[in-house]
Amino acid sequence: MGEVNFPEQTPLYHALHADRYARRDLIERVERITRRKLIVYFTNISHPQSAISKDDIEHFQEMIYDCLKSKRKSIDLILQSGGGDIDSAEKIVTLIRRQIQSLRVIVTERAKSAATLIALASNEIVMSDTSELGPIDPQIVIPTPTGRMMYPAQSFLDGLRRIMDETQQAGALNPVYFPILSNLNPALIDFCVKAIERSKQFARNWLEQYMCHQNPNKAEQIASQLCDAQRYASHGAVIDWKEAKALGLKVRYVRPTDRFWEAVWRLHTAYEVFVRRQQIAKVYETSRVSIL
Domain segments of the chain as ranges: 13-134+238-291
The pLDDT mean for the chain works out to 87
The C-alpha angle 34, 40, 46, rounded to 5 degrees, equals 135
Determine which helix (DSSP H) or strand (DSSP E) holds 193, and give its type and residue range: helix 186-209
* Mean predicted confidence (pLDDT) in 133-155: 70
Whether the predicted pLDDT of 76 surpasses 80: yes
DSSP letter, residue 237: -
Q: Determine the pLDDT at residue 243.
A: 96
CB 107 within 8 A of CB 133: yes
* Mean predicted confidence (pLDDT) in 236-244: 94
- Residue, of 149 and 204, whose pLDDT is higher: 204
Q: Determine the pLDDT at residue 37.
A: 96
Q: Dump pLDDT digits (tens) for 32-41.
A: 999 999 999 9
Determine which helix (DSSP H) or strand (DSSP E) holds 197, and give its type and residue range: helix 186-209
Nearest to 110 by CA among 47, 41, 57, 61: 41
Rounded distance between C-alpha atoms, residue 94 and residue 72, angstroms: 17
Q: Dump pLDDT digits (tens) for 191-218.
A: 777 777 888 899 999 999 999 998 989 9
Nearest to 47 by CA among 241, 283, 279: 279
Whether the predicted pLDDT of 266 surpasses 70: yes
Q: Determine the pLDDT at residue 180.
A: 63
Q: What is the CATH number of domain 13-134+238-291?
A: 3.90.226
Q: What is the pTM of this model?
A: 0.86
